């Protein structure tokens, strides 16, 4: 349905011409707080517009759901479950990192068709790490086929726990109380970067409690194509339309997912 390499080239071109030249070069007035605690920059807005135009050209008749467009018009979110092909875009994932000159941020794109996650792209412009996946064809970083970490016991598995400001207080408290039952690592404050290290086998798991499609549709496909299991807290698959669900847990396989769920969330 789409030329994966052409989409990759578009993303890399925009990163080189419109993102990296502005990195660590933003003026104060080019950074705003769009809602309490959440930043947006002129680069987020510009890159989303560029990607929207270019991706629509590659796939005529497709729709686009981008983070910044939805912020301006929340009704656009309904298009994530449309029958038509839908591009899902996070122009700068990890905007706070980007705005403060920290290197860990990503461009994230996914293609969904009739509810199926068809393809995903996650690029870290500074490091150049680029994870690409197509449903049924594996997850790749250049010529390297990605593979999740081998399963282990919860006490020996490493991962990130994102259950704080966006989680119900009781859930946040429960996860915090159980952090010492696993090998919790520091959050990168960038979902795209978390998914790259998951798919590359650098960590075993991640837990999220804010499920916006631009944060997780690209990453869950990349993770699954690398052999992992990504399920909502109720044990069913995450899809673009499930952004109001309570949470999402990634693990190397179903058995380790069950063990992590019991360790972190049961009771």
pLDDT in tens, 184-210: 999 999 999 999 999 999 999 999 999
Interacting residues of 166 by C-beta distance below 8 A, sequence separation 6+? 209, 210
Backbone angles phi, psi at 30, to 5 degrees: -90, 5
- Pairwise CA distance, residues 94 & 122, whole Å: 12
CA 101 to chain centre: 20
pLDDT single digits (tens) 241-262: 999 999 999 999 999 999 999 9
Query: Is 218 a residue whose pLDDT tops 90?
Result: yes
Helix, strand, coil % over all residues of the chain, rounded to 5: 40, 25, 35
Q: Are strands 183-184 and 158-162 parallel, antiparallel or unpaired?
A: parallel
Go through the domains of the chain in sequence order and give each one's CATH number. 4-145 (3.30.540.10), 154-264 (3.40.190.80)
Looking at residue 147, the DSSP 8-state letter turns out to be: -
Task: Check residue 165 and give its pLDDT.
Answer: 78
Cβ contact 245:238 at 8 Å: yes
Give me the mean pLDDT over the 216-232 stretch: 98
As a whole number of angstroms, the distance between CA 190 and CA 199 comes to 15
- With a pLDDT cut of 70, the percent of the chain lying above it is 100
Q: Is 214 exposed, middle or buried (0-12, 13-18, 19+ CB in 10 A)?
A: buried
Q: What residues contact 62, with CB distance under 8 A and at least 6 apart?
A: 55, 56, 84, 85, 86, 87, 111
Asked whether the predicted pLDDT for residue 227 surpasses 90, the reply is yes
Q: Give the pLDDT score at 267.
A: 76
Percent of residues, the chain, with pLDDT higher than 90: 95
pLDDT, mean of residues 96-111: 98
What is the DSSP secondary structure assignment for residue 180, as one 8-state letter?
G
Q: Decide: 77 and 67 in contact? Cβ < 8 Å.
A: no
pTM: 0.97
Distance CA 118, CA 102 (A): 31
pLDDT category at 166 given cuts 50, 70, 90 is: confident
- pLDDT attached to residue 64: 98
Strand boundaries in the chain, DSSP class E? 31-35, 38-41, 63-66, 86-93, 106-113, 116-123, 130-134, 139-141, 144-145, 158-162, 183-184, 205-208, 229-232, 248-251
Produce one character per residue of 163-174: b if its CB has 16 or more CB atoms within 10 Å, e if not: beeebeeebbeb
Q: What is the pLDDT of residue 164?
A: 77
H or E element at residue 177:
helix 169-177
- pLDDT band of residue 1 (cuts 50, 70, 90) is confident
Nearest to 150, CA basis, from 197, 208, 203, 220:
203
Computed over every residue of the chain, the mean pLDDT equals: 96
Please tell me the distance from the alpha carbon of residue 162 to that of residue 142, in angstroms, as a whole number. 29
Alpha-carbon dihedral 223, 184, 186, 218, rounded to 10 degrees: 10
């Amino acid at each position: 349905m789409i030329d994966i390499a052409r989409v990759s080239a578009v993303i890399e071109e925009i990163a080189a011409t419109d993102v990296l030249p502005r990195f660590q070069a933003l003026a104060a007035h080019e950074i705003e707080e769009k809602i309490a605690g959440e930043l947006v920059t002129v680069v987020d807005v510009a890159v989303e517009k560029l990607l929207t135009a270019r991706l629509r050209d590659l796939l005529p008749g497709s729709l686009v759901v981008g983070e910044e467009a939805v912020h301006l018009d929340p009704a656009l979110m309904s298009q994530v479950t449309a029958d038509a092909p839908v591009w899902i875009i996070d122009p700068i994932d990890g905007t706070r990192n980007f705005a403060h000159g920290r290197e860990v941020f990503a461009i994230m794109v996914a293609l969904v068709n009739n509810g199926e996650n068809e393809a995903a792209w996650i690029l870290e412009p500074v490091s150049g790490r680029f994870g690409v996946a197509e449903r049924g064809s594996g997850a790749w970083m250049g010529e390297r086929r990605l593979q999740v970490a081998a399963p282990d016991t919860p006490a020996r598995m490493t991962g990130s726990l994102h259950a704080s400001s966006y989680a119900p207080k009781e859930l946040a408290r429960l996860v915090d109380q159980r952090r010492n039952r696993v090998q919790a690592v520091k959050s990168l404050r960038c979902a795209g970067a978390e998914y790259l290290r998951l798919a590359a086998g650098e960590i075993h798991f991640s837990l999220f409690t804010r499920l916006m499609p631009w944060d997780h549709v690209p990453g869950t496909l990349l993770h699954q194509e690398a052999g992992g299991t990504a399920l909502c807290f109720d044990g069913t698959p995450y899809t673009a339309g499930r952004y109001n669900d309570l949470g999402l847990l990634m693990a190397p396989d179903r058995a380790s997912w069950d063990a992590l769920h019991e360790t972190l969330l049961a009771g």
